[in-house]
Structure 1
Amino acid sequence: MIDLKTFQMNMMLLLSGICGTIAFFVAITKTISKRRKSALLSMELSAMFLLIADRFAYAYRGNTEKIGFLITRVSNFFVYFLTLLILWTFNNYLKDLYEEYEHGKPLPKRLKVIDGLLIFGEAMLVVSQFTGFYYTFDENNCYQRGGGFILCYAIPVLIYILQLTVIVRSFKSLHRNMWYALLLFSVMPLIASVLQLFFYGLSLINITLVGMIMLLYIFSLLDANKAIERAKNLEITLLRDEQEYFRTIFVQTAEALASAIDAKDKYTHGHSRRVAEYSVKIARLAGLDSKACDDVYFAALLHDTGKIGIPDTIINKERRLTDEEFAEIKKHPIIGKQILSSISRSPFLGIGANYHHERYDGKGYPEGLKGEEIPDIARIIAVADAYDAMTS
């Protein structure tokens, strides 16, 4: 049966391997900000080496050989050192989150106080190596708590509490999942610190801290994915708004041009708009889709654009047109095509203008097309144009 020490050492080995793997994925991810990525990477690597150092400390406890004396002292030093380093990187992580979600507000002074406490904690750790203030080793090379060991617990606990107050105050700013992850990161090690005082010999704080670091990475990814999703949705919304904006401009421009064309002919006021409305109704009855119906509408709205090039005296002549004058009138489809063909992304406009006077029997103009030689859009406009001429 595996004893507690063996189980704990195996757990440390497993968790250190997981931390190393996560560190690799953090290094290659591109969905997290550079500063937050650096903090996560430092935390994962520090957690990995923390567990390795803690495992060596357990493995060589009681080993009275020279190598045992060296490894226990080095590994215990790094256990304390890396614990504070993790807290420092987590503090940087909090700073980055605060700057992002609090929109330019000054950093809480508590986070700066934490930096000072961490420097003090590292300095005291170095002093302890020469004074035995935090811990010592007996003649059997076994770790023993020193007279000031409570301080080495008090500093991280105070840091956790200060960080916890910052996290709690940021409840409304942070996303819920991220807030819960940060809360657990601060609360669970606090609980483990209390239990550690009573369960001597177990690495409750270190194992709990590493577990929370892994959890923090998972929630950081979830938060980053949500940020990407929000950015994508915003981009789609902006694109739709932009498309609607340009569509509105196009519609208003087309309607203004149609009104200007109709204004040339005192007998056909509102003719272009009516033809457009009749044409789109015919298109819908013919089973055309929404996009095709829109094309029909705008082509019909601008079908008489070529009349811009016809003299007003001919367009508004009350008596019968001469053959020469009618020949001029018959030029307006060609003129309309020439004008509208410059709108290269809407070729249907030129097609509607050029062929709306063609007839199914081939007696229309300007090209004398017949039957299915005439484009569908022009046939629809021709019917609507004839209907409006007979009813208005």
Structure 2
Amino acid sequence: MRRAPRPPNPAHGTTTLTISTLNPPAMLPAALLPSPAGRLLAPAPLRCHSPTQQSSTAAARGLILRGAGSPVVKRVPDGGGWLLWHQSGARVALATSPDGLRWSAPVSPDPLLPSEDWWAFDTAAARPSDVLLISGPAASSRRFPSSAVYWLYYTGSTDGRFGSAFPEADVPALPGLAISQDGRNWARIEGDHHTGALLGVGEEGEEPRGWEARCIAAPKVVMHADGDLRMYYHSFDEMSRRHAIGLARSRDGIRWTKIGKVLEGGRAGSFDECGVRHGHVVRDRAAGRYVMVYDGVDADGKVSIGMAVSEDGLKGWRRSSEMPVLCPSEEGEGWDGAGVGSPYLVQMDGAYDWRLYYMGVGRNGEASIGMAYSEGQALQKFEKCDAVLM
């Protein structure tokens, strides 16, 4: 029998949920709206530079939110605005926007802080990985509590180094789940692992130990159909000495079964020859296939963003290009000059219009969030947009 979740700590911005009927929000939840003093501006047209256009803001191109990382971006249905969960130090924070470009200051209190339970997997740091908005037919499914509109999949660690932008490969990390009615107050759901995580790594002495002996990080979840959820995560393979992306499947979003690797590092000399990680998967409405954006690490440790595609999202993943779709800025002092990663892909209303939210790291080690845009059917290259800072 699965253990009942332990009562959450109110100081962590969580609360116990009562399972009851709740209509999915048609507009941005009132609890998430900024105060009058921080009122957001009206939506404005999106402006992107062409690749050759010079601009005085070139060093800040793409930048939308400073001092933040690991973006998880969702559009609220029926014109209800945009939500951005992100990493802020060791905790999860939330910002709001009318257009996905100009973002409010973080909503108070922070949605999720590290756990204070000594036995938990997330006592040092928690960073968001993905959010499912359970609404419409899915909300009435017997598999999901209809009161839990938001399902936050996150990565937790007992090592303080996990709060850095690009943690070292030996930092332990495991996936967790919290659910919420309003996107701000969360209740942790305890998984089957003894630490409360949804999945665990192979323990010492276990045979076979598997390739995920170091960590299971960045759980990105796709609801393929009712009773068919897929989690894409990364780990560090000690045999190949490279990060790889794996897959797990679930019927209820809580109990998961590992399937195996779906994408590994590329050939010698490629932008991702030293490994792939942070894979975010979206089903392309126009092409009917699955698209994955991911971190690629080259031989010098530089991180760029690559893309792969699959017909069914389970197997046959292939790179859409041997070149990255987004690279660090060439300006030495640029906000994303040291690396770009943690990509999050959003398909817009137009079938061939996409936004790519990502984390950039500057030479000073500061992580910030930016956005790039792609138009047309190729989906091969993204242009960084004008900086939009509030």
TM-score (structure 2 length as normaliser): 0.21
Q: More strand per residue: 1 or 2? A: 2
Structure with the bigger percentage of helix: 1
Give the greater-gyration-radius structure (CA): 1
